[in-house]
Amino acid sequence: MSGARHVSGAGHRLLTLGQLRAHGVTPSTAAARCRPGGPWQLLLPGVVLLHPGPASDEERLHAALLYTRVRGPARTPAADPGGTPGGPGTAMITGSAALALHRFPVTPPLPPTNRVDVLVDLTRRLRSTGFVRVVRGRCLPRPQEVSGVPTAPVPRALADVVGDLPGAAPVRRLLLEAVRGGHCEAAEIVRELDRCRLLSRPYVADAAAAVLDEGRALAEGRLYAVVRGHRLPEPLWNVTLRLPGGPLLGRVDAYWPEQAVAVELDTRPAVRSAGLPSPPDDPPGGRDRLERHGITVVRVGPERLRRSPADQAAVIRTALMAAADLLIDAAPGDPPPGARVEVLPR
């Protein structure tokens, strides 16, 4: 029993049976200490909690991850600054437990809070057991370390929760809460819903459309703040450009007619993922068409506006300065590019 006493005094509160053997604790000793009324308990198959009484929330999370290693060792993905997704051996907390780790205020009705969802590769031979539910995925995201726990990014955790929610109202509330709370961008959510094949459910597709609208509204607000906070010239906001008496060239979120520079919020990939139609005043190929008529188009992603507003202000300022230099160098009598288009309110 000396090995058992050594383990208990070492500060470890969760170990696998294999780790206990490495500490000199035989299987028979471990089994004896895990009997009812004993000082230890078998929390999950192959995972021992080294104290009596209920496990804490933190212990349950770590036990769930240990269980995936007991039933097939998980390979830790190599560090990759490019964000390479996790490999087949990767396991991470997902679902409502992951949202709680991300400090997400979960308001819709969710599965029992004592359940822990663990995301693993589709090929892993693991079974749900006890409080652990195994969630399988074809292409895993790279896990994020949250409070020392490998955790699914918010968009993936949301998708795994949405798969359990029964109807439109809770799905819509949850996704809007994610965007309004600044936990992630609308486009990231829609891409993950598409990857998890959830957009085929009509109420999820409707919620995706609502969250894209919300994401665009928030991005427009950030664009206003970038222009005014960094003292850029005031543009014309939310306008449609067309040839005089001719076809529409496209809609833009901000336009400086003197410099013929336009800014466009880049939300089209997410719109396509959700299977939503483009606005009627936003014809395909609008950017190329505008640039062929001398308009400089700066495309800005909502995520970049949120994470690096100063950098986006510098990009816009550089485009305005470059356009002004071109006007100075233009041949006398040549009309400026902005004179070749009409500006219409959206």
- pLDDT, tens digit (0-9, with 9 covering 90-100), for 107-132: 555 555 578 999 999 888 889 999 99
Distance CA 260, CA 249 (A): 13
Range with the poorest average pLDDT among 165-179, 256-270, 299-313: 256-270
How high does pLDDT run on average in the chain? Answer: 83
Which three-class secondary structure string do you get for the chain? Answer: CHHHHHHHCCCCCEEEHHHHHHCCCCHHHHHHHCCCCCCCEEEECCEEECCCCCCCHHHHHHHHHHHHHHCCCCCCCCCCCCCCCCCCCCEEEEHHHHHHHCCCCCCCCCCCCCCEEEEEECCCCCCCECCEEEEEECCCCCCEEECCEEECCHHHHHHHHHCCCCCHHHHHHHHHHHHHCCCCCHHHHHHHHHHCCCCCCHHHHHHHHHHHHHHHHHHHHHHHHHHHHCCCCCCEEEEEEECCCCCEEEEEEEEECCCCEEEEECCHHHHHHCCCCCCCCCCCCHHHHHHHCCCEEEEECHHHHHHCHHHHHHHHHHHHHHHHHHHHHCCCCCCCHHHHCEEEEC
Q: In the chain, pLDDT over 70 holds for what percent of residues?
A: 79
The residue with greater pLDDT, 338 or 212, is 212
Listed ranges 75-89, 163-177, 221-235, 277-291; the one with the highest mean pLDDT: 221-235
Q: What is the pLDDT of residue 84?
A: 47
Q: What is the pLDDT of residue 42?
A: 95
pTM: 0.78
Distance CA 30, CA 95 (A): 32
Q: What is the pLDDT of residue 230?
A: 95
Q: What is the pLDDT of residue 339?
A: 63
Distance CA 220, CA 226 (A): 10
- Residue 116 pairs in a beta bridge with 132
Residue given tokens 């010239």 in the structure block: 233
Distances (CA, A) of 230 to 36, 227, 312: 67, 6, 10
Using the predicted structure, report yes or no on whether residue 4 has a pLDDT greater than 80.
no
Q: What is the pLDDT of residue 134?
A: 95
How does strand 149-151 pair with strand 144-146? antiparallel
Q: What is the pLDDT of residue 252?
A: 93
Q: What is the pLDDT of residue 82?
A: 35
The residue with greater pLDDT, 284 or 49, is 49
Q: In the chain, pLDDT over 90 holds for what percent of residues?
A: 55
- pLDDT, tens digit (0-9, with 9 covering 90-100), for 41-82: 999 999 999 999 899 889 999 999 999 988 655 444 433 333
Q: What is the pLDDT of residue 262?
A: 94
Residue 2 pLDDT grade (very low, low, confident, very high; cuts 50, 70, 90): very low
Using the predicted structure, report yes or no on whether residue 273 has a pLDDT greater than 80.
no
Residue 255 pLDDT grade (very low, low, confident, very high; cuts 50, 70, 90): very high
Q: What is the pLDDT of residue 43?
A: 94
